Amino acid sequence: MMEIVTVMVAISVVTVFFIDAVGLVEKFKRWLYYLKYSKGSPYKPYSLKPIDCSMCMSFWLFVFMGLSLPLYYHEIFVLSCATSLLTILIRKICL
């Protein structure tokens, strides 16, 4: 059980770091926008769910990670929701 909690915390910290702190996803979205449209047009922000939301991304990352763990599906769902809530706490502490 302790290794599952470690995985939850690691996923939450990594998603908050890459999505909220570094802004890696925002740079990727800008690159996609300028790839689709010309460089002369002004950038209009858009949502690229679930990639640009750290809470959504941590949920889905733990769902896919949980499929490799010896857990039942309802346990994976509950732990994925807990990972999303943990992401909110880490974001408030770190940022």
Q: Tell me the pLDDT tens digit for each residue of 72-92.
A: 999 999 999 999 999 999 999
**What is the number of structural domains in the chain?**
1
Say if 3 falls within a structural domain.
Answer: no
Say if 5 falls within a structural domain.
Answer: no
Q: Please return the burial class of 19, using the count of CB atoms within 10 Å of its CB with bins 0-12, 13-18 and 19+.
A: buried
pLDDT tens digits, 44-64: 888 888 888 999 999 999 999
- The domain of 42 spans 11-94
Would you state the pLDDT for residue 59? 95
**Using CA atoms, how far apart are residues 15 and 18, in angstroms rounded to an integer?**
5
Say if 43 falls within a structural domain.
Answer: yes
Q: pTM for the complete prediction?
A: 0.85
What is the amino acid identity at position 17?
F
Q: How far is it between the farthest Cα atoms of the chain?
A: 53
